[in-house]
Amino acid sequence: MEVRKAGTCATRKRDAVAQITERGYPVAEVSQRLGVSPHSQYAWKRQLAKVVSGDAGKDAEIRQLKRDLARVTEERDILRKATAYFARDAK
């Protein structure tokens, strides 16, 4: 009886889908080579597409947060300059 590591199955699925999507191999060829049905390949591809789309939402949120950070940083710098200007005139 063979004992598998915990992430082996998930890694195998990712590698199989990468062969189809990134390297351009036909689904039938990859399925035959790996000994799985084409239906399984399409199911794995759908599963991984859902995971990736979740990452796209995170990427959009990160971009929005970076824009907000840049705006707030600029406002802070303007306020520092204004404070220094008015402090100089107060003396």
DSSP state of 23: S
- Residue 64 CA to residue 6 CA, distance in Å, equals 36
- Residue 14 CA to residue 52 CA, distance in Å, equals 12
Residue whose tokens read 């940083």 = 73
Say if CB 25 and CB 19 are below 8 A apart.
Answer: yes
Query: pLDDT (tens digit, 9 = 90+) per residue, 70-82?
Result: 999 999 999 999 9
Token pair recorded at residue 49: 């597409």
Tell me, yes or no, if the pTM score tops 0.75: no
Query: pLDDT (tens digit, 9 = 90+) per residue, 1-34?
Result: 455 555 568 888 888 888 888 888 899 999 999 8
